[in-house]
Structure formats: C-alpha cells, structure tokens
A = this chain, B = another copy of it.
Amino acid sequence: MAEMNAAERFALIKENLQEILNPDIIEGILAEGRNPKIYWGTSPTGKPHCGYFVPAVKIAQFLAAGCDVTILIADIHGFLDNLKAPIELVEYRAKYYEYTIRAMLQAVGVSTEKLRFVLGSSYQKSPEYVMDVYKLCSLVSEHDAKKAGAEVVKQSNNSPLSGLLYPILQVLDEQHLDCDVQFGGVDQRKLFAASTEWQPKLGYRKRAHLLNPMVPGLTGGKMSSSEEESKIDLLEAADTVRKKIRKAQAAPKEVENNGVLSFAEFVLLPASALKTGRPEFRVSRERDGLEPLVYHDIKQMQEDYKNDILTPQLLKPAVAEALVELMAPIITAFEASKEWQEITLKAYPPPEKKKKEKKQKDKGNRYPGAKTAETAELPLREIGVQEPTAD
C-alpha cells in the first residue's frame, strides 16, 4: 500500500465514516505529499473490549494510509471521572490501554511505527497549556461551551463544572498535540464544530474532523444484571466468545441496529482488506452441505440477510470465528509479555470479596462512550460504539 496516491489515501481515510468536517484541510496536506497528523482520545477508565475494534480498525486504516496517528490516553480525565479510581490505578490502566490498542492494531496487520501514545498528564498540566485553558475560557461563552458538549457531557444544573471545561480541553488538545485532524464518534459533532470556531480565537489553525457513525454493540440487547455477558473482553477465551455471540441479539432479516452484522461491516471486512488487500468475509455452510457464502462488501451481505439467505444461525458462528481469529495474535502477545500481564493485575486487581466485586463491575463499565450509563457523568471520549441501554 506504500504506493497509494493522494486520492487513494483519502479514500482509505474516509472509508466507512459518517461525515468529515473541513475535508479540504486533509486533501491539501495529501496533495502536498505530506502525512496528515490525526489524533484520537480515549480515557483509561474501564477495560477495553471488542467494541474498541471499531475505532481501532479506522485507526489502522489511517496508519495504512500513511497518516501520523496520536492516541491520547486521557489519564487526567480518567482520574477526574468522579475521582473514584486512585491516580495510581489510572496510570496502570493507561499502560494497559497502550498495550491493548497497540496489539489490536498489530492484529490487523498494520505497522504501528507511526503511532504515538501520549499521556494527557504529560502536557495538560504545563504552563503553556494552562494559559490556553484560561484564555479560551475567557473567550468562549458558557452557552457555547454547553452547546459544544451537549451530546458528550451529561448536562444538568448539578453536573460537575468539569463538564463545561472538557470541550475546552479537548479542543486545545488538537493544538498541543500538534495534530491536523481529530477523529471521534458523530456524537462529538458539536464539539468538533466548536473547534473550528474556537481555534482561530487563539490564533491557532482550524482542524479537520473525521466522524465515525454510532455502531451498535456486538452483543446487542439490553444491559442486564449479568452484564459480563454483554461485553467481550479482548483476551476472552475462544469458547466464551462463541457462546456470547451465539446469545447475541440479531433478529432475522433485520439489518438495522444489528450489532453482529455491523461488526462485520465496520471491523471484519475492513480488517481483512488491511490484511489481504481485499475485503472478504466467508460464511461456512458445510453443515448444510452447501458452498460457503463469500462476501466482498457489506451491501451483498445486507441483501442476503434481508432475504434470510444469510440467517442469524449462519452469520453468528462466522462472525465468532473471524473475531476469534482477529483476537488470536492479541492473546499470543499478552501471553508472551510478562510486563503486560503484571500491568493487567495492577490495573484491574481481582475483587477481594463478593461485595466489592459489584463495585468493581460498575467501574469496568465506564469506558469511553458509555455515556448512556447513568453513572457516567463526565464527558469521556467516544469510541463510536453504542452501548446497550438500560430501560
């Protein structure tokens, strides 16, 4: 893929996105033969799960398109998230996030040479950054800050003040990470639009923004008390993966809000394209003595699903096997790294008692994007995956 031209690079950058703000900024950089610098932020609060493959595959595409990618591990944000986790725990989780995300990208087969991890704490306490926070706060009205955060920050009279501060920080991160582009979920749209307005107020350049659609969760369904079932850990045993996907919600013929089908669309097809140069998804029909179904794009898959040719009973095991295959190198890397194993124990210490276990679970759920959860009050960074909602 090293010989892609500007148009091909741009096509790969924007594949599967819902929207791009100020695309001319990216096109201009590509036209000059330079590499766009893209930043994505995530807060190390819960534990990354398979839903993280959605942004990870986009990031892998950015890397494959020759972009410089910065992943901001927003540890200060994580620490401030209700101050529930002590700062040391957050630092271990930050490390765990870095191990995990790097392994996910390597699992997709892209080089992570141009990938940079930055801890929020490494610059968000610097005098230059702080003066910019103070300055922007004196240039942006309460109304505009509120509007910018409307879809990412839980807003009420009793919400913490930090909710109004975070859009300010997230916009300044673009400048202080020296990036041209920020990537996030469509729920960040208002914040991204605000960035376009606010950067020039400080004499900084406008940024482009890449917006991922909200992708339904892999396992679907309501959030239940047996919450463990609704998430698939990145280091989950193959059999558990198969079992969880077998139980996943995927109504026959229904393409909308179908987490299993969406996972094929936003993760499995693009991941196979990154690995082999062409998207491909195979569905075995051996049990019925038929030839496998082989797909190269989501349209044909959706068509067959609507017509019940690709039934949930056929789709689910195929997605499970593809996912198990995608996860295999991550598990191998984890098993080979003593450091990563040790970090995991420190970042997610096993609960001591039955009673404490419940508390631990609550925390595990507060990963970036879980804004629908009632407990999540702070504006964590979106990973572009919709969570099952409790009703």
Contacts and interface: CB of A to CB of B under 8 A. Distances in A.
Copies of this chain, count: 2
B131 A125 contact: yes
A138 B378 contact: yes
B168 A141 contact: no
A385 interface: no
Nearest to A127: B125
A19 to B, nearest CB: 27
Given A81-B138, A138-B378, A141-B160, 19 more contacts: A76-B131, A80-B134, A124-B130, A126-B127, A130-B130, A134-B162, A136-B161, A137-B160, A138-B160, A138-B162, A139-B160, A141-B159, A142-B157, A142-B161, A143-B157, A143-B158, A161-B164, A161-B168, A165-B165
Nearest to A80: B138
Nearest to A155: B142
Contacts of A80: 134-135, 137-138
A190 to B, nearest CB: 16
Interface residues of A, number: 33
B138 A158 contact: no
Nearest to A76: B134
Given A130-B130, A134-B76, A134-B80, A145 B161 contact: yes
Given A125-B127, A130-B125, A161 B135 contact: no
Contacts of A20: none
